[in-house]
Structure 1
């Protein structure tokens, strides 16, 4: 990797860290950048996932005010993210490359539709749920977060959009607090998958480009902190519009 390539990877990490914190789908910047520089897809995916872990953590830290009072909720849903991420990471290393790429655009479209209609669906759902469901989303949300974790452990791009859609509909809470919870769950997914990838690197033949990991990590830390400062000031309606715009770009990048 030459200096220009290193700068490109670092810059992609900054952008991905910021986008992941505000919306999600930052991997659609770093992953294509690494492919353009000649990385093998699985190596790019694994290295990208590990590199973005710290960006997810700093993004969650930047939303610490919005996270107050959500501990029990996040413990419950975090267990679903943990299990799902481990399953997804194992699938990535065991299934043919590109096995999920056919359904990724469909998942993003569904998520964007859910984000758009979220206020009405949320009101309808909450009117039919008991007190526990209002606080934690009930068993169907746990299952949805589990499946989002599988997807995130396997590829991860736009998992934030999927999580915002699920959490926004199921939880009786402000969109900024939902986004804060999304950042924590994304960090759990990325971190859990990274542990699997590093374990396979230590004990099997999984390849990781550690220079790319360090560059993406450094960039995503900076991007995560900046993204939190920006994202926390965005009104819910504008934030919803940003989510839809980023999702449409993600679909275009995947299909073209």
Structure 2
């Protein structure tokens, strides 16, 4: 790998790390960067997933103030997302993601709309970081299924998985938006780490390209939460939703036009 490619992937990684931690849409930057230097789509997808582990590490370290004191719910969240990611990654080996591509744009649009309007929904008083209100057994079961399915989506298709997870957390856990965003970053790390282990034994990952991309993703992942703390919540919601709609339009064009 020459210096120009290394520098290109490093810069792309920083941009992707920022986009990932702020909006859950790293693949808007990092995946196209790999395609631009000639990496085949399937290999680019799994290489991108491996590199995204680094943005999870950076954002987790930077998000410690928001995550502190929420261990019980975080462990449950990570477990559900990890199990879902294993299921989704295994499903990808059986049924290619192309079978799902016509549905994904609408899924992402729905997530973007949920993010825009969830901030206007009334909430109940409860302990910070715990599920919104007092959940019945049925509601808690539904929450568990939704989080598991979101993890499966991350392992299977991945596009805008961060936005989908953020929408899920915003609706099911009543807490500051910045905390939900930090939890989203942590679950993204778990899902990508699990998927990377599976891909390492089942397909080809361009590990030399993971290095510069991963370094950039770590830097961007660390800076992202710092920026997010300083942005107005409604502006952050709008930015994330707008980027989600942009990605949905791109995927819609690829699937139908």
Residue pair 1:28, 1:250 contacting (<8 A) in 2 also: yes
Residue pair 1:115, 1:168 contacting (<8 A) in 2 also: yes
Residue pair 1:85, 1:189 contacting (<8 A) in 2 also: yes
Are the structure 2 counterparts of residues 99 and 38 from structure 1 closer, same or farther at C-alpha, using a change threshold of 3 Å?
farther
Structure 2, unpaired ranges of 5+: none
Q: Tell me the residue number matched to 2:85.
A: 85
Deviation of the 1:123 alpha carbon: 3.0
Between the aligned partners of 1:239 and 1:35, the Cα distance in structure 2 is 29
Q: Secondary structure at the match of 2:39?
A: coil
Pairing 1:168–2:170 present: yes
Q: TM-score, normalised by structure 2?
A: 0.88
Q: Tell me the residue number matched to 2:47.
A: 47
Q: Tell me the residue number matched to 2:16.
A: 16
Q: Tell me the residue number matched to 1:3.
A: 3
Are the structure 2 counterparts of residues 122 and 171 from structure 1 closer, same or farther at C-alpha, using a change threshold of 3 Å?
farther
Q: Within 5 Å, give how 1:21-170 maps onto structure 2.
A: 21-121=21-121, 123=123, 132-133=134-135, 138-170=140-172
Residue pair 2:182, 2:225 contacting (<8 A) in 1 also: no
Q: Tell me the residue number matched to 2:208.
A: 211
Structure 1, unpaired ranges of 5+: 201-205
Are the structure 2 counterparts of residues 23 and 90 from structure 1 closer, same or farther at C-alpha, using a change threshold of 3 Å?
same
Residue pair 1:58, 1:221 contacting (<8 A) in 2 also: yes
RMSD value over aligned CA atoms?
Answer: 2.1
Between the aligned partners of 2:82 and 2:109, the Cα distance in structure 1 is 24
* Greater Cα shift, 8-17 or 95-104: 95-104
Residue pair 1:141, 1:167 contacting (<8 A) in 2 also: no
